[in-house]
Chains A and B, each alone.
Chain A
Amino acid sequence: MTTQKLSELAKTIRSKNAGVNKITFDVIFRDRENYERVKRSGALTRESMARLYRIPAERISDFVEYDPGYAIKFTIYRLRPSGCAGDGDIFGAQQYAPLLDLEVAA
């Protein structure tokens, strides 16, 4: 079975604060075909994201397939609000990297 990395299929893969206590992740596709393919593949689900980031599924507050934007997005709770001493990413902007190499079945 051939697989491709998510970074080859998606136009945008990003993370950013959604309020002070959550980080939201957006995976956006240029066209319906790639969007539907990733949806079908089961590679990007609430459960697979909990595994990838090694967190309990309850820490994922939302998981949404957003058809108008050809996008899949999910949101996780931070352990402590942004900007507490020790927070390495106050804006939450560099948390998406593990998604880039996510393997997606054809």
Chain B
Amino acid sequence: MKTLKIICPNGHLGFAPLREESFRIGVDAGPDYIAADSGSDDVGPVPLGSDTSTSPEGWQRHDLEQMLLASRKLGVPMIIGSAGDTGANSRVDLYVRIISELAKKHKLAKFRLGYFYSEVDKEFLRDKIRAGDPVLGLDGYAELTESELDATERVVAMAGVHPFVELLRQGADVIIGGRSSDAAVFAAPAVHHGFSDDYAYYLRKVLECASFCAEPYGGKETVMGEISHEDVKVTAMHPPQRCTVASVAGHAMYERSNPFEEFFAGGKLDMTNCRYEQFSERTTRITGSKFIPAERMRVKLEGSGKVGERFVGICGIRDPYTIANVDRVIEWARTQVRERFGDTGYELHYNVFGRDGVMGDLEPLRDQPGHELCIMVQGVAPNVEMAEELTMIGLRQMFYARLPDVKGTAGSVSFPLDEVLHASAAYRWTLNHTVAVDDGLELFPTHMIDIGV
């Protein structure tokens, strides 16, 4: 095989639907694979902790249907990583079920569906800790302790290319992956067909977020990556978009703290000597990337732990005197909560939109609030009853705040809703770590079934 072409229609399948026009153009261009990643830790710890998706099933089904029908029509494999936002086992099962239902609906001819799981048994990690093989923290996280592991609801490991390559080797026509590096989804076919790791891993770099590597800006449009033994090329499929040297080089640093290197299960991609050339109007050519294998394989882990049940309330302020004294209003409400529930055993948060609700401590203009404020109150507590009462006190007592010189004595805040709303439970990222493994397949059991008639 001299070259391999992969199209990617969506940088995060399910989060918003793919755009059908550029996907069709991409399919007509005759790709060898159709692939997309469906997950991200950007969505916060709630979906992983509560074992849900943040994406609506209708949108997931829409994109899976488009991709499956194109894949079966062209007779080329379809690869999905990080099923259902988190890549948890229940999400893999969900996508496998959707694929089976779609196959039935469209009476598709028999094909092989491979899938693998990514959830990690907490006892496996406990054994590692006890055996003195530390589970190391990333980005400021301390080494994993047993107590932090106990506070964790669910852990997924991020697969490298290994389970995908294994399933391709077994002849899978469709692959549904548990949590995966988006690298793996696109690099695996290239590795499977014998292209060098140097370019296989770069190929995914340009494909991982679909049209985010093209300009003008516009998400959810299809792009096509082509790997050869000498280079990688990337082309925008959406007619108004182009992949330029600037847009492709610029994308290399997206969501990464260091644009020159990136780590995967099994090694790192060194982009220090990458060269970018405008190959044709809508295509950029990349050479010079280098894959450096790791001495011992470490796999990234994501874990989420429950903090408590959560309610949310909203109020507004328009009186300039009250706006100038909003911290005193909040302190009054906090004091009432403390009188009822004490100092600890719950969380109470106030986001003051119009002042620093978006940026918090990073806001330089904190002392220049707008002419009206919106305040979101969040209460988190061990059970639903307490969370509701806590949030209700924290919200309603804003109305009764006692400011000495206020003219409006009939209420300090406005209520768009005179109620508190039951929100998703609060979770936090407990694991952002790596664990050593002997084999890239160790944490990712693979399965193969026949689908269709």
Residue numbers of A with Cβ under 8 A of B are 11-12, 16-22, 24, 26, 28, 30, 52-55, 61-62, 64, 66, 68-71, 73, 75-77, 79-91, 94-95, 97-98
B-side binding surface: helix, strand, loop or mixed?
Answer: mixed
Output the least CB separation between A82 and chain B (Å): 6
> B28 at the A/B interface (Cβ < 8 Å)?
no
Asked if B257 and A17 make an inter-chain contact with CB atoms under 8 angstroms apart, the answer reads no
What is the chain B residue whose CB lies nearest that of A53?
B362
B250: chain A residues within 8 A (beta carbon): 12, 26, 28, 69-71
Asked if A69 and B259 make an inter-chain contact with CB atoms under 8 angstroms apart, the answer reads yes
Could you mark each residue 352-395 of chain B with 1 if its beta carbon is under 8 Å from any beta carbon of chain A, else 0? Answer: 01000111111011000000000000101000000000000000
Bound-complex Cα distance A12 to B308 (A): 39
* CB < 8 Å neighbour of B249 from A11, A17, A68: A68
B41: chain A residues within 8 A (beta carbon): 17, 19-20, 82
Bound-complex Cα distance A69 to B276 (A): 9
Interface bracket on B: 35 or more
Interface contacts beyond A53-B364, A85-B378: sample of 5 additional A-B pairs, CB < 8 Å, sorted by A: A30-B246, A54-B361, A71-B250, A84-B307, A85-B426
Bound-complex Cα distance A95 to B360 (A): 10
B256: chain A residues within 8 A (beta carbon): 18, 24
A66: chain B residues within 8 A (beta carbon): 249, 253, 259-260
Chosen A-B contacts, 11 in total, with CB atoms closer than 8 Å, are A16-B254, A21-B432, A26-B250, A52-B364, A69-B253, A70-B249, A71-B253, A84-B428, A85-B347, A85-B426, A86-B378
Output the least CB separation between B232 and chain A (Å): 14
What is the chain B residue whose CB lies nearest that of A97?
B359
A26: chain B residues within 8 A (beta carbon): 250, 253-254
Output the least CB separation between A4 and chain B (Å): 19
Residue numbers of B with Cβ under 8 A of A are 41-46, 138-141, 246, 249-250, 252-260, 274, 276, 302, 307, 310, 347, 349, 351, 353, 357-362, 364-365, 378, 380, 426-429, 432
What is the chain A residue whose CB lies nearest that of B300?
A19
B46: chain A residues within 8 A (beta carbon): 83
Output the least CB separation between A63 and chain B (Å): 10
What is the chain A residue whose CB lies nearest that of B349?
A86
Give how many A-B residue pairs fall within 8 Å (CB-CB). 143
Given known A-B contacts A83-B429, A89-B358, A94-B358, A54 and B307 have beta carbons under 8 A apart: no
Output the least CB separation between A57 and chain B (Å): 14
Asked if B259 and A88 make an inter-chain contact with CB atoms under 8 angstroms apart, the answer reads no
B351: chain A residues within 8 A (beta carbon): 86, 88
Output the least CB separation between B271 and chain A (Å): 8
A52: chain B residues within 8 A (beta carbon): 364
Given known A-B contacts A62-B257, A69-B249, A17 and B358 have beta carbons under 8 A apart: no
Asked if B42 and A91 make an inter-chain contact with CB atoms under 8 angstroms apart, the answer reads yes
Output the least CB separation between A76 and chain B (Å): 8
The 4 closest A-B pairs by CB, nearest first: A83-B44, A86-B349, A75-B257, A69-B249
Bound-complex Cα distance A66 to B427 (A): 36
Asked if B364 and A19 make an inter-chain contact with CB atoms under 8 angstroms apart, the answer reads no
Asked if A95 and B359 make an inter-chain contact with CB atoms under 8 angstroms apart, the answer reads yes
A82: chain B residues within 8 A (beta carbon): 41-42, 44, 429
Bound-complex Cα distance A76 to B378 (A): 25
Max chain B Cβ within 10 angstroms of own Cβ: one of A16, A81, A94:
A81
